[in-house]
Amino acid sequence: MSTAVVVGSGPNGLAAALTLAAAGVAVTVIEANDTLGGGVRSAESTLPGLVHDECSGLHPLALGSPFAREFDLAGAGLAWTRAPIELAHPLADGGAALHHSAAETAAGLDDASWSAVFGPLAARFDTISEEFLQPMLHVPRHPIHLARFGAYSALPTDLMARRLRTPAARALFAGTAAHAFRPFDTPFSAAIGVALTTAAHRFGWVAARGGSGAIADAILTRCAEYGVKLETGRRVDSLDELGPVDLVMLDTAPGAAARICGDRMPGRIRHAYNTFRHGPGAFKVDFAVEGGVPWTYEPARSAGTVHLGGSWQETAAAEKLVARGQLPEHPFVLVGQQYLADPTRSVGDLHPLYSYAHVPAGYQGDATDAITARIEQFAPGFRDRVRAIAVRTTTDMTRHNANYVGGDVVTGANSARQLVFRPRISVHPYDTGVPGVYLCSAATPPGAGAHGMCGFNAAHRALDRL
């Protein structure tokens, strides 16, 4: 029987473990943290009984993941749930709401250009996502659908926003595009926004019932069926620690993979890993809020996600400053109200509120007040409802998970080059150049998210070569 060690238990590490184990490989997962799950963990971070998502909170790309389908994670207990409105974007004079249907969103925005752009993409999202959830260098099975998606994705966000007619529609798109953590005038900076918006219209901006930890729990349930062994509280620093195994899957950042492989890694690949670029950081604050958030923009009171970026131009200016290493006076803040989709996370009228601001890489200051003030700006009276907070700085973020270098929660800058070729230019992006050793983290295609597709693809590459 072949043997494998998976280093790291994020969704990609666990997806790799499960895929290998299901193919008959004896797998052991080694995790540095005392708990499993990496970016998909939940905890009572503020007050007893309130379930907060420690990292990933909302999952427009996870529901349709081929990995989740192949292993029937729903059958293993993973249930997705949606708030009445997917996403709200309050503005000084009203706001914009993203509904499950592109047509309903366009009607609310009074902007037919929204459904003209996103309606056809959402209708074909299953074939489109099949293409972008694998390495970019492949012969597409659906070239025409992909071309339309690619034509929007390749644009700078500034140009993509101009395809929409009204200021509210532009602001709404800017908020989803900001998930790329990229300046809006750079090529391909629209790609993540196009993918997330389209996925929201296809599947919804969903939360996992019981907390994001339920994603890890479902994969672990399947892993147990195949006898995967688990070891926590052990950080791997070198391949030499692992003894003789046929396969090693590294659910780590590229720099860490280079250190773990040491001299066994060819110099050019080591160089590529050591010069892999990380993006800006996230500064996270979880709140326990009594009575929910008193948003002025009514639809935000029913939305699973709320983006606080202001107009398209304001979001663009904030993202540009962050990329230059400065904290804007009004940073882009994402607020997660997962409890609206999943009331089991609340205790009576006390609710767990999730938020993070985009901050410069390795930001050493305290953005708690900036985040609180941003929410208060759109929800006067919010401060008075806060009963407890839990803060995670960029330093805490890296300490909690070594993959989030400098607080980079998406494991690698989404530059044009790294969107297309990550972690390096290669037709085999999972290969590390060390026989039997593969990189399987979000630093590989298709990138960040709790979809497990990096691990799933890497495991198939490893099995092909075994």
Ligand X SMILES: Cc1cc2nc3c(=O)[nH]c(=O)nc-3n(C[C@H](O)[C@H](O)[C@H](O)COP(=O)(O)OP(=O)(O)OC[C@H]3O[C@@H](n4cnc5c(N)ncnc54)[C@H](O)[C@@H]3O)c2cc1C
Which residues bind to ligand X, rule: CB under 6 A?
7-13, 30-33, 38-40, 55-59, 235-236, 251-252, 256, 282, 284, 356, 401-404, 409-411, 441-442, 448-450, 454
Query: How far apart are CB 380 and ligand X at their closest, in Å?
Result: 26
Query: Would you call 88 helix, strand, or coil by DSSP?
Result: strand
d(CA 79, CA 354): 20
Q: Quick one: 169 or 405, whose CB is closer to ligand X?
A: 405
d(CA 421, CA 443): 10
Query: Would you call 255 helix, strand, or coil by DSSP?
Result: helix
CB atoms within 10 A of CB 137: 13
Query: Would you call 61 helix, strand, or coil by DSSP?
Result: coil
CB 7 within 8 A of CB 249: yes
Task: Supply 339's token pair.
Answer: 């409890």
Q: Quick one: 11 or 210, whose CB is closer to ligand X?
A: 11
d(CA 406, CA 392): 12
- In order of 13, 14, 73, 459, the CA distances from 18 in angstroms are 9, 6, 11, 9
Query: Would you call 227 helix, strand, or coil by DSSP?
Result: coil
Query: How far apart are CB 11 and ligand X at their closest, in Å?
Result: 5
CB atoms within 10 A of CB 368: 16
Q: Which residue, among 444, 20, 423, 452, has the nearest Cα to 246 in the 3D structure?
A: 20
CB 451 within 8 A of CB 68: yes
Dihedral sign, Cα of residue 13, residue 18, residue 20, residue 24: positive
CB 396 within 8 A of CB 314: no
Task: Supply 244's token pair.
Answer: 């003789």
Query: How far apart are CB 155 and ligand X at their closest, in Å?
Result: 22
- Length in residues, the chain: 466
Task: Supply 21's token pair.
Answer: 């184990």
**DSSP-assigned letter for residue 315:** H
Name the CA dihedral angle for 307, 311, 314, 319, rounded to a multiple of 10 degrees. 40
Query: How far apart are CB 407 and ligand X at their closest, in Å?
Result: 8
Q: Which residue, among 179, 388, 406, 113, has the nearest Cα to 280 in the 3D structure?
A: 406
Q: How far is CA 36 from the centre of its chain?
A: 17
